[in-house]
Chain A
Amino acid sequence: GNSVTQMEGPVTLSEEAFLTINCTYTATGYPSLFWYVQYPGEGLQLLLKATKADDKGSNKGFEATYRKETTSFHLEKGSVQVSDSAVYFCALSRDNFNKFYFGSGTKLNVKP
């Protein structure tokens, strides 16, 4: 079946540290992959996406590369800020399924 696995949180980093949040997926065919971010008390916001193998999605300093050989879509940022503190969700979608499959979310805490 289709599923997304994310690293357990919370992840606690100091400001300006390097961030990696691991995401692996299981899906047949060629899914689209997404990272969403949720700030406290809000809905999910699209952070970045990739629609085919070797695509790199990027936004606001965050990057993730669609790796079909390792079925991964790890989120990275070179220098995190306190304002990046939020919960990050990895997700996949496929044609004709009409639903997104979300990971369990990874909470990021960035300390000043």
Chain B
Amino acid sequence: KAGVTQTPRYLIKTRGQQVTLSCSPISGHRSVSWYQQTPGQGLQFLFEYFSETQRNKGNFPGRFSGRQFSNSRSEMNVSTLELGDSALYLCASSLEGGRDTQYFGPGTRLLVL
């Protein structure tokens, strides 16, 4: 089975712009989670989607949003980018969420200038 794929792998944006990141889960997986990873804050949970519904959300401002499509693919969007949004954004998929094992993609590295 193909693993979790994320596009693009690298992105450079300037402050104030917006960005959309994409994640394709493992075939058959219905839950998709997003995490932000930075050297200072470590891994922080953004949100989780299942069957096109957001089931859980972390403590991030409303500039961070996401969605999931009927084929389980997911996108996350960050509007009005700030320098502090520079990070590695990781997507993970699992069968149903809950305690199911999460499988991670390679991440999208976002640099905000």
Residues of A within 8 A of B (CB): 31-32, 34, 36, 42-46, 49, 51, 89, 93-100, 102, 104-105
Contacts and interface: CB of A to CB of B under 8 A. Distances in A.
Contacts of A49: 101
A43 B33 contact: no
Interface stretch (B12-20, B48-56, B66-74, B76-84): B48-56
A104 B56 contact: no
Contacts of B45: 99-100
B83 to A, nearest CB: 22
A43 B45 CA distance: 15
A45 B104 contact: yes
A98 B55 contact: yes
Contacts of B25: none
Given A102-B42, A104-B42, 15 more contacts: A31-B99, A34-B101, A36-B104, A43-B104, A44-B92, A46-B102, A93-B98, A93-B102, A94-B99, A97-B56, A98-B55, A99-B56, A99-B58, A100-B33, A100-B102
B103 interface: yes
A93 B45 CA distance: 13
Contacts of B22: none
A105 B42 contact: yes
B113 interface: no
Contacts of B102: 46, 93, 100
Interface string B86-112: 000010100001111111111100000
27 contacts: A36-B104, A42-B107, A43-B4, A43-B6, A43-B90, A43-B105, A43-B106, A43-B107, A44-B90, A44-B104, A46-B102, A46-B103, A51-B99, A93-B98, A93-B100, A94-B98, A94-B99, A95-B99, A98-B31, A98-B33, A98-B97, A98-B98, A99-B33, A99-B45, A99-B48, A102-B42, A104-B42
Contact of A102 (B43, B99, B101): B43
